[in-house]
């Protein structure tokens, strides 16, 4: 059975899920079904000073080629960041007002001394990875193609050590022109800005600078991070009006950074505010997404939204709740994001100590330590939710057989029992798990699979666990299972069937009964169409649906195929 969507989405966009993480998590990331890998910073991003360290007439490609080969061997499409750094070819003139924002990451881009040199470098990168360059280490083979490119993101955080005029008028346009000239098939990912005020202002800046917004960007990248001016004390978005937005735009013209200049990054209280301590600080806000899309349309800048750097960080930095709870909230944000009209998602996990604030820079990296295992769990948790075969519904894949939140086992139980949980503020659940009579003990393990102690029983027949706050699923880890949730998991703004819809082409190799099912991003079945028994060949169908993001499942001949579908 061949199923393809027509009119609305290219085949390559059937899976909208990407990851932006470190190479330590490649296996875990692949288990989620991710098809894109964002290569950035010290994990394969193309950095000018690394590739042309000595002369503008020579290139050192060894390390960059190795990263590209590795990502391709993992089955990832590559989203490659290309940026400058503190090297011979850039202007490192001191800019005092940026010092408070350049908080010792060492990950800033500088303005080139000569923009033709910057063009030549970007052109060389995009040309080398256009899919037609012979691989110097593999005779008869070619270096993999890179089709997704971005340049320095979050300049408002101080990652751009230059003026905003230079960024919008020279740096970004030169980058885009070089990539387009080298590989016309490349997809340009728009540089991202944090928070709705700066994101909207950036769109206005690009339009005002004369950039042709109809061709420059294929996807507009967005970071919907916590905005202290846009949320209440519990992280909920405040109602926003256009006067407020315009005030932010006016403020932006006078200050390169709207928000972060007022904070000191030595203030430890900020970590809790930016983390998950009392509220979901990185909650997806339908209000903010709506404002971004409306503002883009206002300027003729209607491009799909790719929400990058969705995710959470280890508890030593921003996440001050257990990692499983953070992973669960991230899952909620993925659901809310798709429901709100975000086209693609990129999930990020960052733990590399060299990139963490100076307070933790001396902590050595050890992949066996708790903080590394935490992030592996996060990927595993998402793998239980994201799967090509089932869309956004619980996956019974054995790829999650090693991911735990809490499980217990005993000599008298036939299999491990997995209790996976996610947070839902304000809910307390007491779970009663049957225990066979005569059980003497049960060992409890945490979500890393490490024993945390024994529970001794006499005549008890139930194990009572209390979680606060949680929702719980039960499944057997020794076999594939559909899972059973004791509470429904819903999302806001779930689209319902109505006007408009989704067209599809169905090609059958032989006669078969065909059933079509349409799911919203929460996994809720919103429409089923029994097409009856169809003969071999091509068949077309139209499923009515309101505008939104859906997952379309076709069942024929004992096989199922799921694709992302966007109803316009």
Does the residue 9 lie in any domain? no
Q: How many C-beta atoms surround the C-beta of residue 209 within 10 A?
A: 15
- Within 8 A by CB and 6+ apart from 200, the residues are 245, 248, 249, 291, 292, 295
| Nearest by Cα to 156 from 232, 223, 94, 81 | 223
From 429, 456, 485, the end of a domain falls on: 485
- Within 8 A by CB and 6+ apart from 373, the residues are 448
Does the residue 262 lie in any domain? yes
β-pairing, 17-21 with 344-350?
Answer: parallel
Does the residue 492 lie in any domain? no
* Pair (56, 127) in one structural domain: yes
Q: At 214, is the pLDDT very low, low, confident or very high (cuts 50, 70, 90)?
A: very low
Does the residue 390 lie in any domain? no
Higher pLDDT, 425 or 312: 312
Q: What angle do CA 321, 323, 327 make, to 5 degrees?
A: 110
CB 344 within 8 A of CB 150: no
Write down the pLDDT at residue 202: 65
**315-324, 330-339, 538-547: segment of lowest average pLDDT:** 315-324
- For residue range 482-514, list pLDDT tens digits in order: 222 222 222 222 233 334 666 676 777 778 888
Higher pLDDT, 563 or 495: 563
Q: How many C-beta atoms surround the C-beta of residue 568 within 10 A?
A: 10
Q: What percent of the chain has pLDDT over 90?
A: 10
- Within 8 A by CB and 6+ apart from 249, the residues are 197, 200, 201, 204
Does the pLDDT of residue 51 top 90, yes or no? yes
* Pair (81, 214) in one structural domain: yes
Does the pLDDT of residue 297 top 50, yes or no? yes
Does the pLDDT of residue 134 top 60, yes or no? yes
Higher pLDDT, 493 or 75: 75
- Within 8 A by CB and 6+ apart from 24, the residues are 351, 367, 372
* Pair (481, 507) in one structural domain: no
- Within 8 A by CB and 6+ apart from 250, the residues are none
Buried b (16+ CB within 10 A) or exposed e, 161-176: bbbbebbbbbbbbbbb
* Pair (38, 128) in one structural domain: yes
462 burial (CB, 10 Å; 0-12 / 13-18 / 19+) is: exposed
β-pairing, 471-476 with 451-456?
Answer: unpaired
Higher pLDDT, 79 or 266: 79
Q: Assign residue 72 the CATH number of its domain.
A: 3.20.20.80
Q: What angle do CA 30, 347, 26 make, to 5 degrees?
A: 30
Does the residue 562 lie in any domain? yes
* Pair (215, 290) in one structural domain: yes
Q: How many domains, in total, are found in the chain?
A: 3
CB 562 within 8 A of CB 553: yes
- For residue range 169-197, list pLDDT tens digits in order: 788 889 989 999 999 888 887 777 655 55
* Pair (87, 163) in one structural domain: yes
Mean pLDDT in residue range 416-439 = 40
* Pair (411, 516) in one structural domain: no
* Helices 195-208/286-298 angle, 10° precision: 10
* Pair (22, 118) in one structural domain: yes
Range of the structural domain that residue 86 is part of: 16-383
Write down the pLDDT at residue 278: 27
* Pair (140, 42) in one structural domain: yes
Alpha-carbon gap, residue 107 to 498, rounded angstroms? 48
Higher pLDDT, 140 or 375: 140
- For residue range 537-559, list pLDDT tens digits in order: 777 777 776 666 666 777 777 66
- For residue range 229-273, list pLDDT tens digits in order: 444 333 344 444 445 545 544 444 443 332 222 222 222 232 233
**131-135, 309-313, 424-428, 461-465: segment of lowest average pLDDT:** 424-428
Which residues pair with residue 231 across a beta bridge? 237
Query: What 3-state DSSP class applies to 421?
Result: strand
Q: Assign residue 538 the CATH number of its domain.
A: 2.60.40.1930
Q: 19 vs 15, 226, 251, 311, CA distance in Å? A: 12, 21, 34, 9
- The residue written with tokens 């016309």 in the block is 184
DSSP E strand stretches across 70-156: 77-83, 148-150
Alpha-carbon gap, residue 196 to 176, rounded angstroms? 24
Does the pLDDT of residue 315 top 50, yes or no? no
From 350, 383, 416, the end of a domain falls on: 383
Does the residue 281 lie in any domain? yes
Does the residue 6 lie in any domain? no
CB 382 within 8 A of CB 330: yes
Does the residue 377 lie in any domain? yes
Buried b (16+ CB within 10 A) or exposed e, 386-396: bbbebbbbbbb
Alpha-carbon gap, residue 276 to 311, rounded angstroms? 12
Rg (CA), the chain: 25
β-pairing, 46-47 with 77-83?
Answer: parallel
CB 541 within 8 A of CB 553: no
Q: What's the 3-state SS for 470-526? A: CEEEEEECCCCCCCEECCCCCCCCCCCCCCCEEEEEEEECCCEEEEEEEECCCCCEE
Query: What 3-state DSSP class applies to 206?
Result: helix
Alpha-carbon gap, residue 303 to 301, rounded angstroms? 6
| Nearest by Cα to 281 from 316, 354, 338, 230 | 230
From 383, 406, 438, the end of a domain falls on: 383
* Pair (373, 415) in one structural domain: no
* Pair (173, 44) in one structural domain: yes
Mean pLDDT in residue range 33-48 = 73
Q: How many C-beta atoms surround the C-beta of residue 410 within 10 A?
A: 17
Whether the link from the prior residue into 376 is cis, omega within 30° of 0, is no
* Pair (91, 116) in one structural domain: yes
> What is the DSSP-derived secondary structure letter of residue 7?
S
């Amino acid at each position: 059975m061949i199923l393809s969507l027509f009119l609305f989405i290219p085949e390559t966009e059937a899976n909208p899920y990407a990851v932006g993480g470190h190479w330590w998590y490649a296996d875990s990331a692949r288990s989620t079904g991710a098809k894109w890998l964002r290569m950035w910073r010290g994990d394969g991003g193309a950095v000018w000073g690394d590739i042309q360290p000595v002369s503008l007439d020579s290139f050192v490609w060894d390390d960059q080629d190795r990263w590209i080969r590795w990502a391709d061997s993992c089955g990832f499409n590559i989203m490659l960041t290309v940026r400058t750094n503190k090297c011979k070819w850039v202007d490192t003139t001191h800019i005092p007002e940026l010092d408070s924002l350049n908080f010792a990451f060492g990950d800033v881009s500088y303005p080139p001394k000569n923009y033709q040199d910057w063009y030549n470098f970007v052109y060389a990168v995009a040309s080398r990875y256009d899919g037609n360059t012979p691989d110097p280490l593999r005779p008869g083979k070619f270096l993999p193609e890179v089709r997704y490119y971005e340049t320095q993101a979050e300049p408002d955080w101080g990652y751009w050590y230059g003026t905003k005029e230079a960024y919008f008028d020279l740096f970004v346009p030169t980058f885009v022109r070089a990539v387009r000239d080298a590989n016309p098939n490349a997809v340009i990912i728009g540089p991202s800005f944090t928070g709705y005020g700066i994101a909207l202002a950036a769109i206005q800046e690009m339009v005002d600078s004369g950039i042709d917004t109809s061709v420059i960007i294929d996807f507009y990248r967005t970071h919907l991070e916590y905005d202290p001016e846009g949320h209440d004390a519990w992280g909920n978005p405040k109602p926003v009006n256009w006067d407020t937005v315009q005030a932010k735009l006016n403020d932006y013209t006078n200050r390169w950074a709207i928000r972060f200049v007022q904070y000191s990054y030595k203030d430890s209280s900020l970590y809790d505010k930016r983390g998950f301590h009392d509220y979901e600080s990185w909650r997806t806000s339908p209000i903010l997404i709506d404002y971004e899309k409306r503002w883009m349309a206002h300027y003729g800048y209607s491009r799909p939204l790719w929400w990058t750097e969705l995710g959470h960080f280890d508890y030593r930095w921003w996440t001050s709740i257990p990692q499983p709870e953070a992973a669960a909230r991230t899952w909620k944000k993925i659901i809310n994001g798709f429901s709100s009209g975000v086209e693609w998602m990129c999930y990020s996990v960052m733990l590399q100590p060299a990139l963490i604030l100076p307070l933790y820079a001396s902590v050595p990296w050890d992949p066996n330590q708790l903080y590394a295992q935490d992030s592996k769990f996060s990927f595993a948790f998402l793998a239980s939710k994201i799967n090509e075969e089932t869309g956004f519904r619980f996956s019974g894949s054995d790829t999650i057989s090693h991911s735990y939140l809490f499980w217990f086992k005993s000599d008298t139980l036939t299999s491990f029992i997995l209790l996976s949980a996610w947070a839902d503020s304000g809910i307390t659940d007491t779970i009663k798990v049957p225990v066979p009579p005569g059980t003497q003990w049960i060992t409890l393990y945490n979500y890393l699979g490490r024993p945390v102690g024994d529970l001794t029983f006499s005549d008890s027949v139930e194990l009572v666990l209390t979680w606060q706050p949680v929702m719980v699923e039960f499944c057997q880890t020794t076999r594939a299972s559909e899972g059973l949730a004791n509470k429904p998991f819903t999302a806001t703004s779930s689209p319902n069937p109505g006007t408009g819809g989704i067209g599809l082409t169905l090609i059958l190799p032989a006669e078969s009964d065909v059933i079509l099912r349409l799911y919203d991003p929460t996994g809720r079945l919103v429409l089923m169409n029994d097409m009856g028994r169809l003969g071999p060949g091509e068949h077309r169908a139209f499923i009515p649906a309101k505008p939104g993001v859906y997952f379309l499942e076709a069942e024929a001949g004992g096989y199922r195929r799921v694709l992302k579908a966007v109803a316009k």
